[in-house]
Amino acid sequence: MAFKADKIWMDGTLVDWDKASTHVLSHVVHYGTSAFEGVRCYKTQNGSAVMRLHDHIKRLFDSCKIYRMPVPYTIEQVESAVLETLRANKLEQAYIRPFIFRGFGELGVNPSKCPVHVAVAAWDWGKYLGPEALEKGVSVCVSSWRRAAPDTFPTMAKVGANYMNSQLIKLEALENGYAEGIALDINGYVSEGSGENIFVVIGGKLYTPPSSSALLPGITRHSVFQVARSLGIEVEQHQLQREALYTADEIFMTGTAAEITPVTMVDKITIGTGVRGPITKRLQEKFFGITEGKLPDEFGWLTVL
């Protein structure tokens, strides 16, 4: 196994990693009824700290609300469970996966008679797109798979079933030799990657697709808004045509796992000069400066263990 820790928090109790299980007839197994988050804990100069913990858990609860999953804990209790899990596993830095899912009650599309469970796992996980990607960038493709129309799957919810679409995007990209795929929305405008939001730099200004382009409004995406504006870099949410990717000066993708990863090629077309651009580098430097404790936490992102 590529990753493992000692304990997982399940429904209020820390259990051994290998004993954290659910029934094969659980609703989540058959119908994808789960909401989840990806959260990072960074090792800073001031101790370990969780990045935007409250924002992540609030979004987790919002996802459950959209899918009518009553959560048997409060936001504060789940935040405490995250910190408890990190301490129990003695993790100084980690990727954290809080998730809420429907268990075994009865089989059928109607989930209402299936119990809702809450769990938190954490483990040491490196750079999502590779350790060199943050500097050298990655090559991506525009996927043949589209994001769903707005009246089909609610893209504001971060739920397991939505990620079947992401799997198709990711697998297609990998099978064709790319690190990641970029999906278009139902109208043919740029949406997002399989698990990342996307930004382009044109003429010194940042552009990113709006939420109406069938994307998850990412927490790291919002963090980039904050960092960019603090550096005097303008940010606009705009519908982006596919060809805007090819002519951009810089492109980068954002997400809890991907953090801020430059894109240096799209569909084998070189972006800008083919290396990480200066604006991407400035944003990375401030973002990681804060998360590593080298710069003041001016946005109140970090919850110290």
Residue 221's identity, in one-letter code, is R
Q: Say if residues 283 and 260 touch (Cβ distance below 8 Å).
A: yes
290 Cβ contact partners less than 8 Å away, ≥ 6 residues apart = 296, 297, 298, 299, 301, 302
Cα–Cα distance measured from residue 267 to residue 196, given in angstroms and rounded to the nearest whole number: 17
> What's the CA dihedral at 227, 232, 234, 235 to 10 degrees?
10
The continuous run of DSSP H or E covering 288 comes out as helix 278-291
268 is catalytic: no
In this structure, the chain runs to a length of 305
Query: Which tokens belong to 283?
Result: 């944003």
Number of H helices, E strands in the chain: 8, 17
Q: Of 7, 58, 65, 158, which one is the catalytic site residue? A: 158
Distance CA 63, CA 292 (A): 29
CB atoms within 10 A of CB 257: 17
Active site residues: 158
